[in-house]
Structure 1
Amino acid sequence: MNYPKKQIQAHHQIILDSIADGVFTVDKEMNITSFNRAAEDITGFSRKDAVGLPCYDVLRANVCEESCLLRQTIDTEQPVINFPVYILRADKKLIPISVTTALLKDAAGRVVGGVETFRDLTAVDKLRKAIRKQHSFEDIVSKNATMLDLFAILPQVAESNCSVLIEGDSGTGKELFARAIHNNSTRRNGPFVAVNCGALPDSLCESELFGYKAGAFTDAKKDKPGRFALAENGTLFLDEIGDVSPAVQSRLLRVLEEKVYEPLGATETCASNARVITATNRDLQQLVRQGKFRDDLYFRIDIVKLSLPPLSKRKEDIPLLLDHFIDQFNHLTGKKIMGISRKAVAALMLYDWPGNVRELENAIEHAFVLCLEGMIRLHHLPARVVPQGGLPSESRGLSLREAEKRTIVQALERNQWKKMATARELEIDKNTLRRKIKRLGIIEPQA
């Protein structure tokens, strides 16, 4: 049966309007020839206004002027699949979408234009941010079981006025934890003063911490307040406390016990009410046993101890941290990077991260220099974090079953084979985890 041309066109429009994604077609001059209802809703342009206009006048995407995706498909005859971009709606609101393009051909197989489908990612973006907020404390993001346990006690630690010792490798976020404690304490309106004790030579450490009076030494022309004075009514964060000399250790002990100190060259004591938070990447207990760190000072600063795991032990946090850093650098640089490709994420998950979260942040900052728009891809990452022999899934062809087994085993190892903690990390039911362990033949190693 031959239907009239207008009826066929009407049927086509009904079909297009039933699709939840935005869809429009263009001719070879890039003028819009059809525009479905979802496209109207997403862009804010009516079909009547859009049809006949160049597509870049309607979508106004951040890639339109320099590298139009639909023009690229028409010229190369290669489709684009789920490419993230931002478009400017009719109401001037900038929203994220993902774009897929294809060729439009006539009955003879000649290219007559192109078709683009696009999906509004606003809800996905909000959901992603909500998930990250659920797994965050101040500027610290994590869904690792150990980190979540620390998040749970941070409010109580912050409300107290006790000394806190934060242990962790370099780059694990010790200062972020110290700031979070300060910002949630009754001292939040006071100063937060950070000192890297490891960066100060012994000759300067005492004068930096306690200050000095004019005439205390040759170049002391006038009084200078120390960090304890600057942290009055606030928090003093002493990083790398394990590197201070025995002389400085003795003076720190007096401040912590008696709440008083003497600036160099002073004849009178000064009172101190600064809260002291210390941090170290060394084993202080071993230093105490070796006689390199005073045991009485150790017990004074170790009222509450927070031990931060290295990033290699909390790799499930990498996707959350990536979202966090991409948002952070988008804000700092004014760019609109949409995310990171699966291959790039896979490379980051395989890397051991000796520099921890700080190294990951630096890797994303490096990628932002090279990535101008769209998504961060493998070639945007620093060479050191990309496996030299290629990704395992590419070279060995891992099956879905093998990939799932590897993911579960790694999560079990991170959680010391505790099923409840592992299920919580993987965000699945504990019984589901048990069934997967049995189905995949995962055997817990004997102690």
Structure 2
Amino acid sequence: MPQHILVIDDEESLRYTFSAFLEGAGYQVQTAATFAEGVEYLERQTPGMIFLDIMLGRHSGLDLLKVVRQKQVNSPVVMITGAPEVETAAEAVRQGAFDYIPKPVCQQTLLKVAKVALQHKKVLDERELYRSHLEAIFRSLRDGLLLIDLERRICEANQALFQLSGLPECISGMNLDQLPDTLRLPLGELFEQALKSGAQSELRRTAFLHPGEGQKVVDISAAPWFGSKGEIEGVVLSLHDQTRLDTLERSIGKRQQFAHIIGHSSRMQQLFGLIENLAEVDTTVLISGESGTGKELVAEALHFRSERRNRPMVKVNCAALPENLLESELFGHLKGSFTGAIKDKVGRFEQAAGGTIFLDEIGDISPALQVRLLRVLQNKEIEKVGSSQPTRVDVRIVAATNQNLIKKVQIGEFREDLYYRLRVVQVNLPPLRERRDDIPLLIDHFIDKFNRQFSRNIQGGSPAALALMSSYNWPGNIRELENTIEHAFVMCRAETFDTEHLPPELTDREHSAVDSEISRPLLLSTLDEVAWNKSKAAKRLGISRRTIYRKIEEYGLADPVGE
């Protein structure tokens, strides 16, 4: 189909010349002699490109160029100018014209400019079509979408996002860090994960407060946004509303996840209910549990479900710093209060103003710090190192320990009055060995996590591997389980990991079990039944191929197939 060109010039000879050259090259040409004719034509249809004379009788071609831009006509405009008006033509280019050509115009120049302009028009049309398709997709999706560039600026958001989040529609151009904390923190975390890994990341069951509809629960996913050259230009964030499902699961007492805490066992259902109740009251909480049970996740859930959710949550590992540094870290110090104090320092309690401070490993603080912390709990005041002036602080204190504080109280290592001040309500986290029903769910969660992180497609574990993991006592609890799945991902090249891909702590235990359970006659008969196929024999016996080979060697069995 011939491409359509509009020529606007008040000289009849030039209109005739342009028409002859362009039609001879296969283009379809329409002409206009005046400003009014040009405007009338543009009201009816959009040409592929426009040749426009700088001088149009009483009007200027710049006036018509403004009309083209006002009407958002997506056609390249090439200005035609005599030598004295070259500067005017250059100004027209600055105002949006595609190019200009001086008179007299030769055929070769005209056709070359027309070809380049129409190619540019094609690119513009394709880009506009892509943009309109993208807008249609954005409008049609029920999930909320955010496009964030590498500078963390919000480039685009769809209507579903505004309805789901309650954010104003003027957020385009804002920085991600300007959003409320309950959205900023999870969105920012996933944004960084997607940029770092170059793959999709996901965060399930995240709660935030909608300004008009109360608490909302969403699943959030993030995927890198790639440019035309394959480089990452930003991240696409998607929010899927899970509020109704979360409400339903809560009503029947069978939630599989609460905040970032995963589990559907009865112990975890009780824990979810307790956390939910505690989040609504501004009281001090002591979280106890073995290492790796998820004490920090509970603290985060208490904060982000509370009225303090839009204020800071500050975390301090009390075991990570010596006493003199921990005191300064918690309460701050004045310049010159000790050697090295070259300027005033704001402590963690002040940083957490209006929010929550999480004191992990609270059982490790010294007697002197215990006294100072007790004063904070009693009076809601701190004293900076080097100062005698108290400073009021409004913070919620959540503490955690993996130690038996009662025993430490009894032997005089922990103040009894501080213990009871901290333990207004105590949350006890069960070790993983006491909630074995949750192990398959946690395994699936970590497989999903590492598939995204490592761009893999591992479907799961073999029956033998899963049985071994379900019966293991997990002294390191959930953290050890997560590390075990990551170890399996590193070692396994197939779609299913086996016991041979698990760490030695688990497989050594398996060896001791099979030593007593798999006798020489049982192993020999099983191998004979499967024609000495080691994989089939391992599957029948519920052990790994590595163990099969070890037992064959141990019993001195000979493979008749290999003889």
Q: TM-score, normalised by structure 2?
A: 0.46
Partner of 1:375: 496
CA distance in 2, matches of 1:147, 1:244: 30
**Which amino acid counterpart does residue 466 of structure 2 have in structure 1?**
V
Partner of 1:347: 468
CA distance in 2, matches of 1:394, 1:289: 46
Contact kept in structure 2, 1:346 and 1:391, CA below 8 Å: no
- The reply on whether 1:388 has 2:517 as its aligned counterpart is no
Q: Summarize the alignment of residues 407-426 of structure 1 with structure 2, pairs less than 5 Å apart.
A: none
Q: What are the Cα deviations for residues 378-433 of structure 1, in whole angstroms up to 9, with x where unaligned?
A: 22111211212465997388xxxxxxxxxxxxxxxxxxxxxxxxxxxxxxxxxxxx
Q: Summarize the alignment of residues 20-419 of structure 1 with structure 2, pairs less than 5 Å apart.
A: 134-386=255-507, 387-389=510-512, 395=518
**Which amino acid counterpart does residue 141 of structure 1 have in structure 2?**
I
Classify the secondary structure of the residue corresponding to 1:193. strand
**Which amino acid counterpart does residue 362 of structure 2 have in structure 1?**
I
Change (3 A) 1:181 1:269: same
Q: What are the Cα deviations for residues 315-361 of structure 1, in whole angstroms up to 9, with x where unaligned?
A: 12110110111111122222222222211111112221111111111
Contact kept in structure 2, 1:190 and 1:233, CA below 8 Å: yes
* Pairwise CA RMSD: 2.4
Q: CA deviation at 1:134?
A: 3.0
Contact kept in structure 2, 1:329 and 1:368, CA below 8 Å: yes
Change (3 A) 1:391 1:142: farther
**Which amino acid counterpart does residue 518 of structure 2 have in structure 1?**
S
Q: CA deviation at 1:150?
A: 1.1
CA distance in 1, matches of 2:331, 2:494: 50
Contact kept in structure 2, 1:347 and 1:391, CA below 8 Å: no
**Which amino acid counterpart does residue 155 of structure 1 have in structure 2?**
E
Q: CA deviation at 1:373?
A: 4.4
Q: What are the Cα deviations for residues 81-116 of structure 1, in whole angstroms up to 9, with x where unaligned?
A: xxxxxxxxxxxxxxxxxxxxxxxxxxxxxxxxxxxx
Q: How many residues align?
A: 269
Classify the secondary structure of the residue corresponding to 1:199. coil
Classify the secondary structure of the residue corresponding to 2:303. helix
Change (3 A) 1:157 1:209: same
CA distance in 1, matches of 2:467, 2:451: 22
CA distance in 2, matches of 1:306, 1:134: 18
Contact kept in structure 2, 1:135 and 1:143, CA below 8 Å: yes
Q: CA deviation at 1:362?
A: 0.7
**Which amino acid counterpart does residue 232 of structure 1 have in structure 2?**
A
Q: CA deviation at 1:256?
A: 1.0
CA distance in 2, matches of 1:295, 1:203: 23
Contact kept in structure 2, 1:335 and 1:373, CA below 8 Å: no
CA distance in 1, matches of 2:286, 2:479: 20
Contact kept in structure 1, 2:255 and 2:263, CA below 8 Å: no
Change (3 A) 1:373 1:225: farther
| Structure 2: gaps spanning 5 or more residues | 1-247, 523-563
CA distance in 1, matches of 2:514, 2:479: 23
**Larger RCO, structures 1/2 (Cα 8 Å, 6+ apart):** 1
Bigger radius of gyration among the two:
2
Change (3 A) 1:392 1:271: farther
Point out 4+ residue stretches in structure 1 off by more than 2 angstroms.
389-397
Q: Summarize the alignment of residues 10-21 of structure 1 with structure 2, pairs less than 5 Å apart.
A: none
**Which amino acid counterpart does residue 295 of structure 1 have in structure 2?**
E
Q: What are the Cα deviations for residues 233-269 of structure 1, in whole angstroms up to 9, with x where unaligned?
A: 2211111111111110011111111111011012422
Q: TM-score, normalised by structure 1?
A: 0.57
Contact kept in structure 2, 1:164 and 1:277, CA below 8 Å: yes
Change (3 A) 1:393 1:148: farther
CA distance in 2, matches of 1:343, 1:250: 53
CA distance in 1, matches of 2:515, 2:479: 25
CA distance in 2, matches of 1:160, 1:215: 40
Q: What are the Cα deviations for residues 129-169 of structure 1, in whole angstroms up to 9, with x where unaligned?
A: x99x9321111111222221111121110111100001111
Contact kept in structure 1, 2:311 and 2:354, CA below 8 Å: yes
CA distance in 1, matches of 2:464, 2:515: 11
**Which amino acid counterpart does residue 311 of structure 1 have in structure 2?**
L
Aligned residues: percent identity?
49
Classify the secondary structure of the residue corresponding to 2:394. coil
**Which amino acid counterpart does residue 423 of structure 2 have in structure 1?**
D
**Which amino acid counterpart does residue 255 of structure 1 have in structure 2?**
V
CA distance in 1, matches of 2:494, 2:503: 18
**Which amino acid counterpart does residue 296 of structure 1 have in structure 2?**
D
